[in-house]
A and B are shown apart, each in its own frame.
Chain A
Amino acid sequence: MAKTIAPKQLAQKVINHEETLILDVRNTDEFDNWKIEGGKVEVVNEPYFNLLDGIEPVESKLAKDKEIIVVCAKGGSSEFVADLLEEAGFSNVYSLEGGMKAWSEHLEPVKVGDLADGGALYQFVRLGKGCLSYFIESNGEAAIIDTARMIETYEEFANQKEVQIKHLIDTHLHADHISGGRHLAQKVGGTYYLPPKDATEVTFDYTPLEEGNDIMVGNTAVKVQPIYSPGHTIGSTSFIIDDNYLVTGDILFVKSIGRPDLAGLAEDWVGDLRNTLYNRYKELSDDLIVLPAHYSFAEELGKGGLVSARLGDLYNRNSGLQVEDEAVFRKMVTENLPPQPNAYQEIRETNMGKITPEIEKQKEMETGPNRCAVEG
């Protein structure tokens, strides 16, 4: 029996930029749609069903003594292929436990920095989807921005840090993943915040985010300041944390900008997106550290796993911020759109509380990359 590796161990290799060789045995369409990326990961794809008669198709591509991590959709085929490789004399083969399904759910906490009056800010990196959420802890309390569906991870983290989760905040109504904010708020007795303009169809009670109504974490230690910044959605809200960090949601990423079309209103919202990126954010300090809700490119993942950039630097090098002509910008944003995220309509309805799919169905809806950026 081949050895296995947990998603957590693989995540550590990726964020620490360790050389990692992956043999992905899913079919090529799925592989092309979505694969493990980042750091110094090298991936070879050969569907498991091409290896049933022997491993010749991959034998020459892999070194017998090198570490090989075999990956499939759910962990069954990778185990099967890992066994075949071992029988063929490969000595250092692992199968990824739970496959891409488990990989998609893993959250890796990465410390962003300490806060001015005590406390700290953490970025939870969902390597399998490129989603980022934020955990702010101060003086025994915590706030989470853009909580993922896997709320247990945050609860365990809060227990370790001995803080109580008080505020669950979503920057916008998500279309690429199911928010865990509402459920975690119910579970811990916290407050769930949403931008009111994104919440016109929700079926539950929430606290509206409004510019000027700052949220305090740990009495008055940390200020989370909402900035209305529409464009990806009509309600999209950014946050300045501790006067130092700018959480941009799906408006501004490190290498790209948000897409305005996932609610079907690209033409209407592209003007808002431009105004937010080219006017509203420009009024803010260049020294703010931008913390987005997603990354789309493996190279955005910095060493240690952190995805961030200085706002002023992005105005010099993010291609989405260099388009002077408004008509050109409009064309770029509305005509260059990548495919939509998997099941995005059902995900939106789930986040509105209109439907409550079973957990297995929710997992299935979330498979695949986030696709929230315009790749200009």
Chain B
Amino acid sequence: MDIKANEVLDAKGLACPMPIVKTKKAITNLEPGQVIEVQATDKGSTADIKAWAQNTGHHYLGTIEDGDVLKHYLRKATDEETKEERKHEDIVDLDELRKVIEGDEEVSILDVREPAEYAFGHIPGAVNIPLNELEERFEELNKDKGLYVICRTGSRSDFAAQKLANNGFKNVKNVVPGMSSWEGKTEKDN
């Protein structure tokens, strides 16, 4: 699968600790929410990057093996993700979303996470438009249909839902908390 990243870090041929030392440095230059692709050949880097991300709060998305090269994807944590305050009032929880999906009503699911996050697992049929591209891509969406907006934890989708509502979308629901707790079906990009 082809995954979009904001930054690519070449750590090929380096032994630990260097892949993580370099990742740590590179991620400070990223905007919160952006995705970095770390290319490494040290087999131990997968487990270490995962554990490091967990300890630092950055979001480990996954690893793809490309021949001898391991491509690790990380998303830089944002402050707003941890904020509880939400402004879009029409929210649904995951159970409700599951019922809607299983029901007869024709709905759209909009996944506003980064393409790399989406690629490693999303609800089947969900459309991916990352939050920062949403304003340029409103016309891809149907204004009159029910639109369920989802991200990882419910905060980016909250921003997205507000933007959509302010631009004439009539039936927008923010799905909370989001993919981090979704236990229903998912699919991956191939």
Contact = CB atoms under 8 A, between A and B. Distances in A.
Interface string B76-91: 0000000000000000
Contacts of A27: 47-48, 51
Contacts of B181: none
A29 B52 contact: no
Nearest to A30: B47
16 contacts: A27-B47, A27-B51, A47-B48, A49-B20, A49-B24, A49-B51, A50-B52, A52-B21, A52-B24, A73-B16, A73-B44, A74-B44, A76-B15, A76-B17, A77-B16, A364-B43
Contacts of A73: 16, 44
B180 interface: no
Contacts of A74: 15-16, 44
A175 interface: no
Contacts of B127: none
Nearest to B19: A49
A321 B47 CA distance: 40
A36 interface: no
A76 B52 CA distance: 17
Interface string B18-54: 1011001000000000000000000110011001100
Contacts of B17: 48-49, 52, 76-77, 80-81
B16 A76 contact: yes
B190 interface: no
A14 to B, nearest CB: 24
Could you say which interface size class chain B belongs to?
10 to 19
B166 interface: no
A72 to B, nearest CB: 7
B16 A72 contact: yes
B15 A50 contact: no
Interface of A: 27-30, 47-50, 52, 72-74, 76-77, 80-81, 364
Contacts of B16: 48, 72-74, 76-77
Contacts of A49: 17, 20, 24, 48, 51-52, 55
Interface centre among B18, B21, B48, B55 (most CB of A within 10 A): B48
A182 B21 CA distance: 43
Interface centre among B15, B17, B43, B52 (most CB of A within 10 A): B17
Contacts of A28: 51
Contacts of A81: 17
Nearest to A50: B55
Contact of B51 (A29, A52, A72, A364): A29
Interface centre among A50, A72, A74, A77 (most CB of B within 10 A): A77
B83 to A, nearest CB: 25
A46 to B, nearest CB: 11
Contacts of B24: 49, 52
Interface centre among A27, A72, A81 (most CB of B within 10 A): A27
Contacts of A52: 17, 20-21, 24
A232 B155 CA distance: 56
A4 to B, nearest CB: 15
A41 to B, nearest CB: 23
Contacts of B48: 27, 47, 49
A74 to B, nearest CB: 6
Contacts of A50: 52, 55
Contacts of A77: 16-17
B147 to A, nearest CB: 40
A29 B47 contact: yes
Nearest to B24: A52
Interface string B40-76: 0001100110011001000000000000000000000
A286 B15 CA distance: 52
B15 A47 contact: no
B18 A76 contact: yes
Contacts of B52: 47, 49-50
Nearest to B21: A52
Nearest to B51: A27
Nearest to B52: A49
Contacts of A48: 16-17, 20
Given A29-B47, A50-B52, A74-B15, 15 more contacts: A27-B51, A28-B51, A47-B51, A49-B17, A49-B51, A49-B55, A52-B17, A52-B24, A74-B44, A76-B15, A76-B16, A76-B18, A77-B16, A81-B17, A364-B43
